[in-house]
Structure 1
Amino acid sequence: MSTSPLHPRPYQSYVYAYPHKTAYRELSHRPTLREEWAAEPTDALSLYLHIPFCEVRCGFCNLFTRIGAPDELTTRYLDALDRQATAVRDALGDSAPIRFAAAAFGGGTPTFLTAAELDRLCDIAEKRMGAELTSIPLSVEASPSTATADRLAVLANRGTTRLSLGVQSFADDEARAAVRPQRRSDVEAALGRVRDVGIPVLNIDLIYGIDGQTPKSWRHSLDAALAWEPEELYLYPLYVRPLTGLDRRGPHRLGAGTPEATTSPARDAHWDTQRLELYRLGRDHLLAQGYEQVSMRMFRRLGTPVHGAEDYACQTDGMIGLGCGARSYTSRLHYSFDYAVRPGEVRAIIDEYVQTEDFDRAAIGYRVDEVEARRRHLLQSLLQAQGMELADYRERFGCDPVDDFSAELDRFTALGWLDGSAAPARLKLSAEGLAYSDALGPELFSPTVRTRMAEYESK
């Protein structure tokens, strides 16, 4: 596989939001949430509640989370979450209708909370924020060890429409290699409990590129997942990010049979080749088994009713994030709390959060101007398999994306990343473009965002 300037490395950055939080900085003028939300449409918002606790930290994880919660920390955290929700709802005001079109609980591991605490979490979303959880799509993340019957029963009764279970691998040795100690028997038991409570959409997360993983073992995990007929499957490439458990272990072995003495560029190229091979194997296998590709990572079983919000668009509608690891965004400002990966730093941020009484201002964030808004719209649309309707972009910005991003789109065309048959009405990635989503996304970052991310000091 070539990694010349024309053919960049395929695995550079998973773009799940833009700008990334490492581009956020302290806001010199700490604006009130009331003034930031005053002119924003609030009839189709997304609500995200973040729980920063896990029973164990996986070796690949760089999410904002800590292991365990001593001294009734979960109670104090939910108290702070309640205070924040009250302040945010007050800031939204009542001059215009406030409606949430979708909700999600993430982390960390939301099911780290007890059944009673999950009930309280739902109460905060409903009674403080006004989100009607039983009437809108509600997605919740879980791990096999915390997906207990009592917790799942609460989630099902409170309206959860989608449960995402982080399995990563059905092979015990691969789970250990990813520093995720679990047994397949426990994973299967958790999947059975999820099916028993009748949550409409089961998503299973799997990872490819783990040390020692082979095409045969990858196919084994895919088939083990397919046996449960999940409505969704997410296939994630393994990344070794700074300050994670795998990073602290030293140079990654990058697949079976790679010599330890191999030079870094050659080792990286070998790993890229391995991950691309496993990605294509997984993609082709799922397509043959009756799934459709929604993005590079997401696959949905054909015929599955879509439980996502029909009237919410991440490109244009606002998001309310509650919790110290959550982000919020209006059309002009993306904001959050401080971000860290190192355990001591994470604990300090959580400790500060639970002691906070005043949540009515934004402290850390990124101002989104018109140019950044155009980049974000294109990026978040193009990374979906369905692509972007050019008419939607023209209607929103009064100009053509082909003119705004001519250099980038010309390069994508030269690389074979765009599906020419979709023109002239739509910009859409080819199969190869989807495979290279983690290279394509970063190429759309603005110079300012690139600089800020490069200057960010990991902590």
Structure 2
Amino acid sequence: MPTQGNPIATSAYIHIPFCRRRCFYCDFPISVLGDRVRGEESAMIREYLGYLHQEICRSPCQASPLTTIFFGGGTPSLLSPAQVAAILDLLQKCMGIDPQAEISLEVDPGTFSRSQLRGYAQAGVNRLSLGVQAFQDPLLQVCGRSHQRSDIDKAAADIHEAGFENWSLDLISGLPGQTLDHWQESLNQAIALEPRHISAYDLVVEPVTVFGKRYQPDVPPLPSHDLASAMYQMAHDTLTSAGFDHYEISNYGQPGYHCRHNQVYWRNQPYYGFGMGATSYLGQRRLSRPRTRQAYYAWVDHLPQNLEECPVDSQSDRWLETLMLGLRLAEGLSLDALRQEFPAPWINQLIKAAQPHITAGHLYFEGDRLALRVTEGFLVSNSIILSLWNSQA
């Protein structure tokens, strides 16, 4: 019987680590296949799915059906509908899937057909996430993306024609050479395609990426800090005016279409992770899989001992994760929920440490909830969270 501090996981992330090429900003664990290879034609993909199936079958699972499933990558739309269906059938057999579950699949323009989308829907997928990133061909080329603007329009048309009402579109701000006009155009074009959800991420330059070798943050051709902040404010103003709720730092959804799966992460709730490089959070243990295929295959051969050997998160680690993730949401943190898991002096110190930020207009209390102001607090969220964390030392 799970305790209050150790709830049952009802969400699963499935990592599909294959792409046609590696984007210049990407540090995800992936394998590059080239532009012509697809799921059932690729021996590499078939081998990987065999190990993925083994991991799902051999993992210790709690007796509760899944309410959210997310196929991420990589490019899951390189898989055939039959391959996606086989994974969902296995999850149904091993864990059960709630009839009302949100089942998301990431897709890239130029990697799927309308009939393929219909096959995903028949398999049980009911939400898509389209990786657009930008609407200008020069910016797409700068990013190393494999698609063009024309592919975006076709992808959106196919999504609508295939009957997907619940779908999201991803954009990135702060790209090399990107201007405010570029960003406004991308936001307007995204809205015109009528997704129910839009993710607008600020570029993070990771050291091991092509961008990390070419550019330095806040140095041209990357936007200045002030320009990046202006892009953030522009996204908020444009998308909220179009009827999207700014419900998380980088995410906007129409009412009823906030991503249920990602809210599991932001609320620091347990979840399963399956596949190369995936992380699970079960029994207050975070377990990361190896980031290369061969190491992952060897890891699968030693299940289920892997999870049992993983240390339990300390209370202070859980406290930091809860603050860091929960304050990303516009709804913020429930003090009542915090009091059920963490010592009262920690809560009291949090309230005390929050006061200067409340005075500055970045945080606010509403009832029992502590939240960042949208957008004033979101813009400086990292420094606020660090300040709150340091106050506990």
Whether these two folds match at TM > 0.5 is yes
Q: How far apart, CA to CA, are the structure 1 residues paired with 2:217 and 2:269?
A: 40
- 1:329 deviates by 0.9
Q: How far apart, CA to CA, are the structure 2 residues paired with 1:312 and 1:231?
A: 19
Q: How many residues align?
A: 383
Find out whether 1:385 has 2:330 as its counterpart: yes
Q: How far apart, CA to CA, are the structure 1 residues paired with 2:142 and 2:339?
A: 48
Task: Tell me which residue corresponds to 2:381.
Answer: 437
In structure 2, relative to structure 1, the CA distance for the partners of 1:408 and 1:154 (3 Å cut) is farther
Task: Tell me which residue corresponds to 1:418.
Answer: 363
Task: Tell me which residue corresponds to 2:170.
Answer: 205
Q: How far apart, CA to CA, are the structure 1 residues paired with 2:289 and 2:328?
A: 27
Contact 1:295 1:385 survives alignment (8 Å): yes
1:214 to 152, 155, 179: 179
Name stretches of at least 5 consecutive residues in structure 1 with no aligned partner: 1-35, 259-269, 340-348, 448-459
Find out whether 1:48 has 2:19 as its counterpart: no
- 1:194 deviates by 1.1
Superposition pairs of residues 59-208 of structure 1, within 5 angstroms: 59-68=24-33, 72-88=43-59, 91-92=60-61, 97-132=63-98, 134-208=99-173
Task: Tell me which residue corresponds to 2:296.
Answer: 353
3-state SS in 1 of match to 2:344: coil
Moved more, 97-106 or 218-227: 97-106
Moved more, 105-114 or 314-323: 314-323
Q: How far apart, CA to CA, are the structure 1 residues paired with 2:323 and 2:214?
A: 38
Contact 2:362 2:372 survives alignment (8 Å): yes
3-state SS in 1 of match to 2:11: strand
- 1:170 deviates by 0.5
Contact 2:84 2:123 survives alignment (8 Å): no
Q: How far apart, CA to CA, are the structure 1 residues paired with 2:51 and 2:262?
A: 31
| 1:303-341 deviation line (CA, Å, top 9, x unaligned) | 4455627996864642111112211112421111234xx
- 1:410 deviates by 4.4
- 1:400 deviates by 6.0
Name stretches of at least 5 consecutive residues in structure 2 with no aligned partner: none
Q: How far apart, CA to CA, are the structure 1 residues paired with 2:274 and 2:114?
A: 26
The TM-score, its normalising length taken from structure 1, stands at: 0.75
Contact 2:69 2:261 survives alignment (8 Å): no
Task: Tell me which residue corresponds to 1:337.
Answer: 289
- 1:372 deviates by 2.0
Q: How far apart, CA to CA, are the structure 1 residues paired with 2:304 and 2:26?
A: 31
Q: How far apart, CA to CA, are the structure 1 residues paired with 2:387 and 2:29?
A: 25
Contact 2:338 2:347 survives alignment (8 Å): no
3-state SS in 1 of match to 2:164: coil
| 1:385-428 deviation line (CA, Å, top 9, x unaligned) | 11122222223335265424357534534653202xx3452201
Q: How far apart, CA to CA, are the structure 2 residues paired with 1:240 and 1:127?
A: 41
| 1:179-218 deviation line (CA, Å, top 9, x unaligned) | 2242111111011111112223111111111122111111
- Same amino acid, percent of matched pairs: 26
The TM-score, its normalising length taken from structure 2, stands at: 0.87
Q: How far apart, CA to CA, are the structure 1 residues paired with 2:241 and 2:225?
A: 24
- 1:280 deviates by 0.7
RMSD of equivalent CA atoms: 3.2
- 1:228 deviates by 1.4
Find out whether 1:281 has 2:234 as its counterpart: yes
Contact 1:211 1:253 survives alignment (8 Å): no
